[in-house]
Amino acid sequence: MKKVAFYTLGCKLNYSETSSISRMFEDRGYIKVDFTDQPDIFIINTCSVTENADKKCKKIVKEAKKISPSSFVTIIGCYAQLKPKEISEINGVDAVLGAAEKFRLFDYLDDFTKGGVYASEIKEAKTYNASYSIADRTRTFLKVQDGCNYGCAFCTIPLARGKSRSDSIENIVAQAKEIARTDVKEVVLTGVNIGDFGIQDGRRKEKFIDLIRELDQIEGIDRFRISSIEPNLLSNEVIEFVAQSKRFVPHFHIPLQSGSDTILKRMNRRYLSDLYQSRVEKIKTIMPGCCIGVDVIVGFPGETEDEFLKTYNFLNELDISYLHVFTYSERPNTKAVDMEGVVDQGERNERSKMLRGLSEKKRRYFYEHQLGNTFEVLFEEDVQEGIMHGFTENYVRVAAKYDPILINEIKSVTLKSINADGHVEVEEPEEALIHH
């Protein structure tokens, strides 16, 4: 039997799709192996958001051919859709499949002896392909939506994944029930723009709030976590539901991108800073211990020092928990690439450094305000030098001495203090745990 290995770049959505594609291979009798186990076939799922996507793709292909010189290398994913011809010219690449083709790779590649480029125009990517990951028995990424109808000036994702589309609530609930029959304790809902859930065949048929209400009733899954959701789509109704939910945890990741209304308009975002602030205040009013993560882009064209400081000060005053900081980089075929006011690369890097420092301060402040409280920690099979890790429901990461009996178990712990290393000491009946 042929051996196949997978490599995924990018987001949780890519990870869920790779996992589903790998099950297609296993259902056909292929043997899934590690990347280094001399596979006959490599499937590399690429990302267009990652900086230097071409360099990363070339490096992985080079390594694959070094490990298994006669292997068949297939490139799929967002970068494959955006740059199929360029990728096909990388030494060692046998086949490239775009967004509309990647879930039909057996139709195009036969028994993986026939190569070629199969990437139709993105408007052809109309089909919704259900996916969820099962490689990690602790946590599953469940895809509920794909594509995006927004036109943010910096973003290539609509060009790589097409228009917004979703599965039905009925089908997603059925998938969640399949997951509930496994050992998985936590499900993360993922997609490109999950708050826009409900569009089928080009029409809105269902709503995100109705999806999460149905999922909350499923027995056998302890936790649901909502991944990144746009602030204009994070309604008060959704916030209030999570606050009283049985299974949805108090953790939101809400993209901001800029605290300057001038820059938000240039970015073509669908909200201004006052709406974002009102969402955070609403969350913290009814869920004071809720963790709130934020995406920010620095160095967007036209971002003067004053505009950057508006972002810094806006975030500094907001009751948020951590930041994901992205240094703006030019993307072909986006509106931003032709904008005036290009920010010097050194200045972009300096601003990123400042915001990453602010993130550390915010995270410590958030942890300090959790001390003395008791939380449920889901321990993972993530062991490093004898230390295992887990997350509280509100996304505080803790670590403990490795104990196999704790893996994939939920334990109550009390956060006690932050030590000199910035770690949080906690109490648990069997162990002395330390936050990492």
* Residues of the chain above pLDDT 90, percent: 77
Residue 285 has pLDDT above 60, yes or no: yes
Residue 12 CA to residue 376 CA, distance in Å, equals 24
- N-terminal to C-terminal alpha carbon distance within the chain: 43
User: Does 16 lie in the same domain as 118?
Assistant: yes
CATH number where 264 lies: 3.30.750.200
The domain boundary, picked from 199, 215, 249, lies at 249
* 228 and 266 together in one domain: no
Question: Final residue of a domain: which of 69, 92, 123?
Answer: 123
Say yes or no to pLDDT of 420 above 70. no
Identify the domain containing residue 151 by its residue range: 126-249
Q: Is 104 helix (H, G, I), strand (E, B) or coil?
A: helix
195 and 276 co-located in one domain: no
Cα–chain center distance at 192: 9
Q: Are strands 387-392 and 291-298 parallel, antiparallel or unpaired?
A: unpaired
Torsion of CA 378, 383, 384, 388, to 10 degrees: 40
Mean pLDDT, rounded, for 206-211: 98
Does 71 share its domain with 86? yes
**pTM summary value:** 0.91
pLDDT in tens, 356-399: 999 999 999 999 999 889 999 998 887 877 878 889 999 998 87
428 pLDDT band, cuts 50/70/90, is: low
Does residue 166 register a pLDDT over 80? Answer: yes
132 with 94, same domain: the answer is no
Residue 214 shares a structural domain with residue 287: no
Token pair listed for 139: 């946590």
User: For residue 413, what is the enclosing H or E element?
Assistant: strand 410-418
Cα distance between residue 43 and residue 76, in whole Å: 7
DSSP string, 353-367: HHHHHHHHHHHHHHH
pLDDT score of 433 more than 70: no
Same domain, 130 and 119: no
Q: Is the per-residue pLDDT at 136 higher than 50?
A: yes
Per-residue pLDDT, averaged over 271-281, amounts to: 98
CATH of the domain at 32: 3.40.50.2300
Mean of per-residue pLDDT scores for the chain? 91
Same domain as 64, residue 32: yes
The mean pLDDT of 269-287, rounded to a whole number, is 98
Amino acid 51: pLDDT: 66
Is the pLDDT at 224 greater than 90? The verdict is yes
Q: CA 46, CA 179: separation in Å to the nearest integer? A: 26
pLDDT of residue 11: 84
Q: Picking from 307-316, 373-382, 398-407, which range would have the lowest pLDDT averaged per residue?
A: 398-407
- Higher per-residue pLDDT: 241 or 424: 241
Buried b (16+ CB within 10 A) or exposed e, 364-373: eebbeebeee
Distance of CA 176 to CAs 168, 219, 224, 263, Å?
A: 12, 10, 10, 39
Taking only the tens place, the pLDDT of each residue in 73-98 is 999 999 999 999 999 999 999 999 99
Asked if 327 and 423 sit in the same domain, the reply is: no
Whether 114 and 134 share a structural domain = no
Which of the listed residues 203, 225, 249 is the one where a domain comes to its end?
A: 249
Flag whether pLDDT at 154 surpasses 70.
yes
Q: What pLDDT is stored for residue 431 in this prediction?
A: 45
**Number of domains the chain is built from:** 4
Q: Which residue has the tokens 């490689």?
A: 135
CA dist 57 and 416 (Å) reads 45
Please say if the pLDDT value at position 422 is more than 70. Answer: no
99 and 159 belong to one structural domain: no
Note whether 240 and 278 are same-domain residues.
no
- Whole-number Cα distances in Å, 403 to 247, 343, 386: 26, 50, 9
